[in-house]
Chain A
Amino acid sequence: MVTGLDSITTQLTTAALDALLLRHRVIASNIANQGVEGYQPLRVDFEKHLEPVRQALAAGRTDEQLRGLLQEAKAATEITPAPGDGIVRLDEEMAELARNTLHYQALLTALGKLGALKRLAITGSQS
């Protein structure tokens, strides 16, 4: 149920948004340093740490349990060297950039619409 601004849905979405923003920093860094000797392209590991959260959601666990699992997923998020030969490939970075930006905007839009729903229920009007 959607209750208040700290619903588990808001927390999940915010956690994902945080990770995507970090990922943008990393992609921007890869692009800016593509011609720098000795620079190692980097990636952000976040989604793979979400598996316990996904399973808990599907299994219908309580909000408290979900919150705990989400905390663990956030703590496990890290910046790692990109797999491969250590060379920045601009086309790959651009693809990552497009993907990441879209997902960020999609989550923000969805969060905004959920907020508008709550506002509608509370105030009884659109504004």
Chain B
Amino acid sequence: MELSAIQAVGAIGAPERKAETAAGAEPPDFAKWLEQQVQVADREIRTADREVQKLAVGESDNLHQVMLSLERARLSLDLIVQVRNRLLEAYQDIQRMQV
């Protein structure tokens, strides 16, 4: 699954980082957080994929582990997809503003 398109969204958070560091406080790094979430989602998806493979070849010890790993993968992917959608909406709002 191509996650690079979503990863590019992380760059949008960069200008905020510069502005907040100027104030001297320790800023919550949105871009870094988003990158981490992408890594998490990638990991969860790979795990879920492996679990399904094990189920197919008869190596799965319990069914709920497979189903839960699929749910975790869906949730972590859902998170970054939702964030991406909101960011895109915000970006489009900004584009429409009269300067």
A interface residue numbers (CB < 8 A to B)? 1-3, 7-9, 12-13, 15-16, 47, 50, 53-54, 57, 106-107, 109-111, 113-114, 116-118, 120-121, 124-126
Residues 53-80 of B contacting A (Cβ, < 8 Å): 53-59, 63, 66-67, 70-71, 73-74, 77-78
B interface residue numbers (CB < 8 A to A)? 1-3, 45-46, 48-49, 51-59, 63, 66-67, 70-71, 73-74, 77-78, 81, 84-85
24 contacts between A and B (CB under 8 A): A1-B46, A1-B49, A2-B1, A8-B53, A9-B49, A13-B56, A15-B56, A16-B57, A53-B57, A57-B54, A57-B57, A109-B67, A110-B66, A111-B52, A113-B71, A114-B52, A114-B70, A117-B73, A117-B77, A120-B78, A120-B81, A121-B81, A124-B85, A126-B78
Give CA–CA (A114, B53) in the complex, Å: 11
Q: Which of A50, A116, A120, A126 contacts B57 (CB 8 A)?
A: A50
Give CA–CA (A125, B86) in the complex, Å: 12
Instruction: Tell me what chain B mostly uses at the interface: helix, strand, loop, or mixed.
Output: helix
Give CA–CA (A13, B60) in the complex, Å: 13
Count of CB-CB pairs between chains A and B under 8 Å: 82
